[in-house]
Structure 1
Amino acid sequence: MSSALPYIDVNPAGEIKATVIWLHGLGDSGHGFAPIVPELKLPDALGIRFVFPHAPERPVTINGGMRMRAWYDIKSMDFDKRADLTGVLESSALVEQLIEAEMANGVPADKIILAGFSQGGVIALHLGPRFHQTLAGIMALSTYMCQPALLPSEANAANNDTPVFMAHGEMDEVVPISMGKAAYETLKANHYNVSWQSYPMQHNVNMDEINAISQWLQSRLA
C-alpha cells in the first residue's frame, strides 16, 4: 500500500518492529526532524523505523499567502481560529494513509507512534484520538488542539487509553504555552492517559526533552 504523502525514512539495522510517524511544523519538511534519530539513542533491538513526511505546499494567509509546506492554512493568530479545520481534515486523511501503509507492511497499530511538532502536533492530536485502531502512543510537541469541543463526540474508543506525551517550551513565542496546556487539560478532562512536561526553551526542542522522548518511546515500544 503506497501513500500520497512523500516522506523520508530512517530504518533500523535489522527487522522493523515498530514505526514512529513524525510530522514537522509550518514551513519545515520531513528533513527537519530526521537528524534527531541518532540523538534519541534508541536500542537497536527495538527495531524502530522513523517516517518523516513532507506536508503539502499551500498558501498560508498569515505569511502573506506565500506557498510553503503546511498541514493547514493559518488565517488568524487568534487562539480559537489558528487551525483551519478543512486543512486539518485533509492532512489527517493523508497521514492516516501513512499509518495504514505501515500496517499493510506488517507493523501492527499498537507498535505505531503518531508524533508531531507545532502544526504537526495539531494533526497528531486530531487524528490520534479518532483513529480506528489502538496506537502505541501519541506525541504532541509545542502544539495545540484544533476544535477541542469536537473531541468527545468524534473520538474512537480504540484510543481512549492510548498514552499521550505532551511537551512545550516555557518561553515559546510562536505557540504560547497556554495553548498547549489548554490541549492537555482537554485531554485530561476527557480521561486520556496524558502526560505534560515543560522546558526552559522557545519554539524548539532541547536535549532534556529529547532524552524524555527517548525514554517514553522505549517504554511504549519495548
Structure 2
Amino acid sequence: MCGNNMSAPLPAIVPAARKATAAVIFLHGLGDTGHGWAEAFAGIRIPHVKYICPHAPTMPVTLNMRMNMPSWFDIYGLSANANEDEAGIKRASENIKALIDQEVKNGIPSHRIILGGFSQGGALSLYTALTTQQKLAGVVALSCWLPLHKSFPQAAANSANKDMHVLQCHGDADPLVPYAFGIQTAEKMKALISPANITFKSYRGLPHSACPEEMVDVKRFIEKQLPPISDE
C-alpha cells in the first residue's frame, strides 16, 4: 500500500478536476475495496480536491472463521469487550501515516488532508488521527467505533489533532456496528478533543451502509474544512 506492504494494489484515485490543493484519504470497510468509495466520491467531487481510496491487504479474519479477505487489521469480535488486534491496528495506522506523508511529498500539506473511512476503515481513521503528529484538516467517520479506546487519552494528549473537526455518521438501524457504539464513540471523542468540533449525525432506518443524505453531509463537511485557496 505504501511501499512496505506489497499485498495491496495501488489506491483507487479520483483526481482533482483542476490543480489539487487538498485531498481526502478514505478507508473502506471489512471485505471491501476502495473502488466503490472512489465512485461515491466521484459523484460528490469538489474541483480542487483529490480523493484517494486505498485497498486493504488480504488477510485471514478471525471474526469470519479465518477466511482471507481485505482487512486493515484482524477483528476478533464485535462485542464491546472483545479483544482487539493491537499490533495489527498500530501497523495499519503506520501505513496510513505513510500514505499521508506521500501526499505531503506530492505537494499537499497535511492540514489540507481529511482522513476518513467506513466501519473498520472509519475506526482506523479515528485511531490514526488521534495518534499521528501530522496535523490534519479533519476526520470523516462513518458507521464505526474508536479502536483501542482504553489507550486514550494518553495517545491523544500528544496528538497534533486536539482541535481537529470530526464528522461522525451512523445509521440507527445498524445491525453490525450498533448505533450505541457510535454514540459512545462520539462521547469518548468529546473527552479527547474539543467537543465543539465534533458533529454526530444519525440516519433513521439506515443499516450498516451509507445513504445519499449522508454523502451530501460528507460533501458539506469537506467543503467547509477544505475550502479553495484564494488564488485558485
1:23 aligns with 2:27: yes
Give CA deviations for 1:3-44 in whole Å, capped at 9, x if unaligned: 4453111101221100100000000011121111232153x2
Alignment partner of 2:16: what SS? coil
Q: TM-score of the superposition, structure 2-length normalised?
A: 0.90
SS at match of 1:16: coil
1: CA distance, partners of 2:147 / 2:159: 19
Of 176, 179, 200, the match for 2:178: 176
CA distance in 1, matches of 2:78, 2:164: 30
Deviation at residue 78 of structure 1 after TM alignment: 1.8
Give the equivalent residue in structure 2 for 1:211: 216
Residue 12 of structure 2: aligned partner: 8
In the aligned structure 2, how far is the partner of 1:49 from the partner of 1:190? 29
Identical amino acids, percent of aligned pairs:
35
Report the counterpart of residue 153 of structure 2 in structure 1.
152
CA RMSD of aligned residues (A): 1.4
Q: Which residue of 2 aligns with 1:139?
A: 140
CA deviations over 1:50-85 (Å, ceiling 9, x no partner): 110011111011211100000111112221326422
Which of residues 148, 162, 165 is equivalent to 2:164? Answer: 162
Q: For residue 33 of structure 1, what is the aligned residue in structure 2? A: 37
Instruction: Note the residue ranges of structure 1 that are not aligned, 5 or more in a row.
Output: none
- Residue 196 of structure 1 aligns with which residue? 200
Q: C-alpha separation between the residues in 2 aligned to 1:95 and 1:133?
A: 11
The whole-number CA distance in structure 1 between the counterparts of 2:75 and 2:26 is 20
- Aligned length in residues: 218
Q: Which runs of 5+ in 2 are unaligned?
A: 228-232
- In the TM superposition, residue 150 of structure 1 has moved relative to its aligned partner by 1.3
Most deviating of 78-87 and 5-14 = 78-87
Could you tell me which residue of structure 2 aligns to residue 126 of structure 1?
Answer: 127
Instruction: Give the whole-Å Cα distance in 2 for the aligned partners of 1:196 and 1:206.
Output: 15
- Asked whether the 8 Å contact 1:39–1:210 carries over to 2, the reply is no
Question: TM-score normalised to the size of structure 1?
Answer: 0.94
Instruction: State the one-letter code of the partner of 1:79.
Output: A
Instruction: Measure the CA separation in 1 of the matches of 2:77 and 2:68.
Output: 16
Give the letter for the 1:86 counterpart. Answer: A
Taking the TM superposition and a 5 Å limit, the aligned residue runs for 1:85-100 are 85-100=86-101
